[in-house]
Amino acid sequence: MQKSIQKYAALFVLPALICFVIAFLVPMIMGVVLSFFRFTTVLDGKFVGWENYRRIFINQEFTNALWFNVRFTVVSMITINVGAFVLASLLTMGLRGTNVFRTVFFMPNLIGGIVLGWIWNLIINGFLLSRGVTVVSDPKYGFWGLVVLMNWQNIGYMMVIYIAGLQNIPSELIEAARIDGAGRATMLKSVTLPSIAPSITICTFLTLTGGFRLFDQNLALTAGDPGKQTEMLALNIFNTFYGRSGFEGVGQAKAVLFTILVALIALTQLAFSRKQEVEA
Site for another protein in 29-48 (CB under 8 A): 30-31, 34, 41-42
3-state secondary structure of 80: helix
Would you tell me the crossing angle of helices 61-90 and 197-213 to the nearest 10 degrees?
150
280 lies in the site for another protein, by CB under 8 A = no
- Is residue 130 near another protein by the rule CB under 8 A? no
β-pairing, 46-47 vs 37-38, is: antiparallel
Instruction: Pick the piece of the chain touching another protein (CB under 8 A) from 47-55, 62-70, 74-82, 104-112.
Output: 104-112
Residue 247 touches another protein, criterion: CB under 8 A: no
Window 183-222: residues binding another protein (CB under 8 A): 202, 206, 209, 212-213, 215-216, 219-220
For residues 173 and 190, the answer to whether their CB atoms sit within 8 Å is: no
The CB density around residue 168, as the number of other CB atoms within 10 Å, is: 11
Of 48, 70, 75, 119, the one binding another protein by CB under 8 A: 119
> CA 248 to CA 243: how far, in whole Å?
9
Q: Is 37 exposed, middle or buried (0-12, 13-18, 19+ CB in 10 A)?
A: buried
| The residue type at 116 | L
In the bound state with another protein, the residue whose beta carbon lies nearer, of 164 and 177, is 164
Shortest Cβ 98–another protein spacing (Å): 9
From the list 75, 123, 187, 191, which residue makes contact with another protein (rule: CB under 8 A)? 123
Window 57 to 86, contacts with another protein (CB under 8 A):
none
Q: Does 105 bind another protein (CB under 8 A)?
A: yes
Coil/strand/helix, residue 191? helix
Residue from 115, 173, 176, 193 binding another protein (CB under 8 A)? 115
